[in-house]
Amino acid sequence: MFYIVRNNNVLKEENSNYSNKKVERMVLFPFNRREKNKQRVWGSVLSLGGLLLVAVGVLTVNITPIFLEINIITLIGIVSFLIGIVYLTDTLD
């Protein structure tokens, strides 16, 4: 006997095409595919935008004291990159 998940309710059905592992994953991760894709897009945008801001911030600082002087653009870029990475790793199963 197999279990099928529909609208977060577990229904018992015989002769279904779902394997036990797939049903366990569906029960443990009841996320919508559209929500996951949206989260992946936001994670990619934030991480790439953060890298771009870090590059712009590093280029605007004088070349010699590059490690001593961090401007606000670089800090915003680092924070944005870290938030984007957290969003992306949250979508991994």
Domain boundary assignment for the chain: 1-30, 31-93
Region 19-30 average pLDDT: 51
What pLDDT does 1 receive? Answer: 42
What pLDDT does 47 receive? Answer: 92
What pLDDT does 53 receive? Answer: 87
pTM over 0.75: no
Region 48-69 average pLDDT: 74
Contact 5, 30 (CB under 8 A): yes
What pLDDT does 19 receive? Answer: 53
**Pairing, β 9-13 against β 2-6:** antiparallel
Residue 79 predicted with pLDDT over 60: yes
Integer Cα distance of 57 and 53 in angstroms:
6
